[in-house]
Chain A
């Protein structure tokens, strides 16, 4: 293994797999902290804007950007999973492929979960007025 692939590229590949596994989770965590704290604190201060930006737009950004990050993570996980399956089908020795395939499979499902949570948050934003109690 690793005859033509240089160490830098390998490092990038290894980190890319982790983005595929955990990217959705991190995106969701950022989404939750940003959207919740902006909403609760701005409304508690009796206002509906952050600087000049209307609050609903700010919260909207805290939905869209993490959603895109999670979708990217999903794509990477799906790619990694197919690559591992191809490699294993081509009869490569099990080695690291089995482990990477497990992580990629976990990544696919986890990203689907986290992406749907972020999307549900976006739906709530469309339905509810930002500061209604």
Chain B
């Protein structure tokens, strides 16, 4: 597998072969279902999220084709509703977050100098649940029963009266199912970052990407329950005649909106934050210096993730609540721009003070800065209640959040893709192909979404399947449709570039960019055990630091080689002082089996097969009991 020949002098040949024996997995069908290797799971997350990105992207192209000309009849209103709902739902829940979780899965253990995640089996379980939940939702499309009430699924539109059939239940149950995976993944990231950092990596030396993933995970832990509750309440209303969203029996439809946006606004940052983390991690390699003002960037990450919980009512400025209670949220929505601005200026200063190396990842970063800036500016405009009330539910909003999400999530994601492709696959990408892809994506993105600002201000509401020709919206719509195809061509070129790299790319050295974080000290792709010697970290930029390099070379000690088993290190939470070596979980089929039982449970809930659902619930509990049964091995063991 290894494509480089540099042999670390720290670990002996015996150590290496013993490590390979404990960590390696000979390929087999069973191993494919039972692996707990964070790198394989990370790659699977990335590929699966990419698949859902293609599905959601094709939905968008169909919608843009329908809207190219006024009163066109390519899609029926019913089909259009399903497409925009599945587009939004998939992009947010099945693409953006899982894609970042995939990158995080691959990178976090490598960046912090560990051999796996804290809970390897939970990690595998999270992937299978994500895959099954995504398929659960997409399988509804061919049956014409896909969710069709928008990605935020407002009650009372989604009550049984207006939405008979299974479509809304697919949404409710699908997101509840997916929530299990997201929560498990988030808890795993937090615990991994707290306990598995290499000795010496105290909080002031943690890479910014890891900060971002941990902040994201904290937001998931505290925001997702609101969405889960919302979906549970709506499911109960629809199936069991409860009255949570039924005003005639004391319920209140605004409850849906409150709960949804308590989750929904943090979710915007859940999507964007890892992207910002990627920017801060990729930039040093191409500016040839660390990100300026590290403490302030950490501040921005931490304070944004806290503030994001206090701004949700700004999605509801048009719902008629007391002005004073708006102003509390308006204040938070205004102040949250400050940490965002701090980060932005930190990147600009890094570029200004550094020596730029123009390569494809840096191009995407520059594209990000430009696009995200526009999205941020229109975002600040929404903090003004009076403006928000004028443009809410118009295409101006659509333009705004596509600038934020494509700018803040997709551009950094593509920068990260090109940056870490050599590490993940062991192959270099083709620079020319990458540049073409960048320019097409950038041009396509601006062409598609910039006109939406304008015809949104001219009054075109979002979520309409067609429009009349005499309203002045037709030119903008045609440009947007052309742009969408250009964007799609650019993304196709990205995919071709990846396939080309894997098939034909030249072998990648272990550190093609001169990056500063620990993943660049491993081979490309990394060995099954990641690090022959777990490093002792001496600075914020360990790969640029000679003492850290020495600790995995001549200065290696047996207590950091740990070849006597499948072992890695626990260090203390804040200062990463050496605590003890621990035995890590081995591959097993149980996570896959548990995910299958959950799939059965959710399918039977969908079709009201109560007996089967009860059986599946019992099976889930029994499987968990088997999973967590204490083993009688002498060595210390983690769950």
Residues of A in contact with B (beta carbons under 8 Å apart): 25, 28-29, 31-32, 35-36, 39-40, 43, 59, 95-96, 98-99, 101-103, 105-106, 109-110, 113-114, 116-117, 120-121, 124-125, 128-133
Distance of A121 Cα from B309 Cα, bound (Å):
16
Query: Given the interface contacts A95-B575, A99-B575, does A106 sit within 8 Å of B324 by beta carbon?
Result: no
A38 to B, closest residue via Cβ = B325
**Are the CB atoms of A130 and B322 closer together than 8 Å?**
yes
Chain B hits for A129, CB < 8 A:
324
Which of the 9-residue segments B294-302, B419-427, B447-455 touches chain A? B294-302
Inter-chain contact B329/A36, CB cutoff 8 Å: yes
The size of the chain B interface, using a CB distance under 8 A, is 32
For the complex, give the distance between the alpha carbons of A29 and B308 in Å: 11
B305-359 contacts to A (CB < 8 Å): 306-307, 309-310, 313, 320-325, 327-332, 334-335, 338-339
Q: Fill in one digit per residue for B178-206: 1 if any A CB lies within 8 Å of its CB, else 0.
A: 00000000000000000000000011100
Q: Are A106 and B299 in contact (CB under 8 A)?
A: yes
Nearest 8 A-B pairs (CB), nearest first?
A124-B327, A120-B331, A102-B204, A99-B202, A39-B325, A105-B295, A106-B299, A109-B299
**Given A99-B204, A133-B321, A133-B322, is A120 in contact with B335 using a C-beta cutoff of 8 Å?**
yes
* Min CB gap A85→B, angstroms: 13
Identity of the chain A residue whose Cβ is nearest the Cβ of B342 in the assembled complex: A109
Verify if B499 is at the interface (C-beta below 8 Å from A): no
Complex contact B324–A113 (CB within 8 A): no
B31 contacts the other chain (CB 8 A): no
Residue among B320, B327, B574 making CB contact with A121, cutoff 8 Å: B327
Which of A39, A43, A101, A110 interacts with B303 by CB under 8 Å? A110
By the criterion CB–CB under 8 Å, are A102 and B295 in contact? yes
Residue of B with least CB distance to A37: B325
Known: A99-B204, A117-B332, A133-B321. A128 touches B327 (CB 8 A): yes
Cα separation A96 to B202 with both chains bound (whole Å): 8
Contact indicator A110/B327 (Cβ below 8 Å): no
Instruction: Tell me the bound Cα distance from A22 to B359 in angstroms.
Output: 40
Further contacts, 6 of them, CB under 8 A, given A110-B303, A113-B303: A99-B203, A101-B204, A106-B295, A110-B302, A110-B306, A133-B321
The CA-CA distance from A43 to B321 in the complex, in Å, is 9
Q: How many A-B residue pairs have CB under 8 A?
A: 99
Query: Which residues of chain B have C-beta atoms less than 8 A from A35's C-beta?
Result: 325, 328
A96 to B322, CA, bound (A): 48
User: Which residues of chain B in 42-82 are interfacial with respect to chain A, using CB atoms and an 8 Å cutoff?
Assistant: none
Q: Shortest distance in angstroms between A27's beta carbon and chain B's nearest beta carbon?
A: 11
Of B321, B322, B335, B574, the contact of A99 (CB 8 Å cutoff): B574
B310 x A132 contact (CB < 8 A): no
A133 to chain B: which residues have CB within 8 Å?
320-323
What A residues does B330 contact at CB under 8 A? 124
Closest to A130 in B: B324
Complex CA distance for A103 and B205, rounded to whole angstroms: 12
A-facing residues in B248-305 (Cβ within 8 Å): 295-296, 298-299, 302-303
Q: Are A29 and B309 in contact (CB under 8 A)?
A: yes
Our pick among A106, A116, A128 for the contact of B302 (Cβ within 8 Å) is A106
Which residue numbers of B lie inside 8 Å of A, CB to CB?
A: 202-204, 295-296, 298-299, 302-303, 306-307, 309-310, 313, 320-325, 327-332, 334-335, 338-339, 574-575
A102-B203 in contact (CB<8A): yes
CA A20 to CA B552, docked complex, whole Å? 37
From B329, B335, B575, A113 is in contact (CB under 8 Å) with B335
- Given the complex of chains A and B, what is the CA–CA distance between A25 and B306 in angstroms? 7
Chain A nearest Cβ from B247, distance in angstroms: 14
Q: Is there contact, CB below 8 Å, between A124 and B331?
A: yes
In the complex, the answer to whether A36 meets B325 with C-beta atoms within 8 Å is yes
Contact among A28, A109, A120, A124 with B324 in the assembled complex (CB-CB below 8 Å): A124
CB distance from B69 to the nearest CB of A (A): 42
Q: Is the CB of A40 within 8 A of B335?
A: no
Q: How far, in Å, is B376 (CB) from chain A's closest CB? A: 17
Q: Is there contact, CB below 8 Å, between B296 and A32?
A: no
Point out the residue from B203, B204, B323, B324 that lies within 8 Å of A59, measured CB to CB.
Answer: B324
Q: How far is the CA of A32 from the CA of B332 in the complex (A)?
A: 9
A120 to chain B: which residues have CB within 8 Å?
327, 331, 334-335
| Chain B residues near A105 (CB-CB < 8 A) | 295, 299
Q: Are B328 and A121 in contact (CB under 8 A)?
A: yes
Q: How far is B322's CA from A129's CA once the two chains are assembled, in angstroms?
A: 9
Contact of B323 among A99, A116, A121, A128 (CB under 8 A): A128
C-alpha gap A133/B385 in the complex (Å): 12
Sample of 13 A–B contacts (CB below 8 Å): A25-B306, A28-B310, A36-B313, A43-B322, A59-B324, A96-B574, A99-B204, A99-B574, A102-B298, A105-B299, A109-B299, A113-B339, A132-B324
Q: B324: which A residues are within 8 A, CB to CB?
A: 39, 59, 124-125, 128-132
* Cβ-defined contact, B296 with A109, below 8 A: yes
A99–B576 alpha-carbon span in the complex (Å): 10
Q: How far is the CB of A96 from chain B (nearest CB, A)?
A: 5
Complex: chain A residue closest to B298, CB-CB: A106
Could you say which residues of chain B place their CB within 8 Å of the CB of A121? 327-328, 331
* A29 & B323 in contact (Cβ 8 Å cutoff): no
Point out the residue from A25, A36, A130 that lies within 8 Å of B328, measured CB to CB. Answer: A36
For A131, what are the chain B residues with a Cβ–Cβ distance below 8 Å? 322, 324
Q: Which residues of B contact A40 (CB under 8 A)?
A: 321-322, 325
- How far is the CB of A69 from the nearest CB of chain B, in Å? 15
Shortest Cβ distance from A133 into chain B, in angstroms?
6
Q: Which residues of chain A have C-beta atoms less than 8 A from B329's C-beta? A: 32, 36
Query: Nearest residue in B to A122 (C-beta to C-beta)?
Result: B331
B313 cross-chain contacts in A, Cβ below 8 A: 36
Chain A residues lying within 8 Å of B303, measured Cβ to Cβ, are 25, 109-110, 113-114
- B365 → A minimal CB distance (Å): 25
In the complex formed, the residue of B with least CB distance to A21 is: B302
Closest to B252 in A: A44
B575 contact from A59, A96, A101, A124, Cβ within 8 A = A96
Tell me which residues across on chain B come within 8 A of A25, comparing CB atoms.
Answer: 303, 306
Given contacts A98-B204, A103-B203, A117-B335, contact A32 B328 (CB under 8 A): yes
CB-CB under 8 A from B335, the residues of chain A are 113, 116-117, 120
Most buried by A among B203, B322, B335, B339: B322
Closest to B310 in A: A32
Q: Say how far A127's CB is from chain B's closest CB, in angstroms.
A: 8
Distance in Å: Cβ of B195 to nearest Cβ of chain A:
16
Interface centre among A40, A116, A132 (most CB of B within 10 A): A40
CB distance from B262 to the nearest CB of A (A): 11
Q: Which residues of A contact B339 (CB under 8 A)?
A: 113
Q: How far is the CA of A40 from the CA of B326 in the complex (A)?
A: 9
**Chain A residue contacts of B295, Cβ below 8 A:** 102, 105-106
In the complex the two chains form, what is the Cα distance from A84 to B569 in whole Å?
Answer: 29
Measured CB to CB, the closest approach of chain A to B236, in angstroms, equals 24
For A124, the chain B residues whose CB sits under 8 A away are: 324, 327-328, 330-331
Q: Please name the residue on chain B nearest to A41 by beta carbon.
A: B325
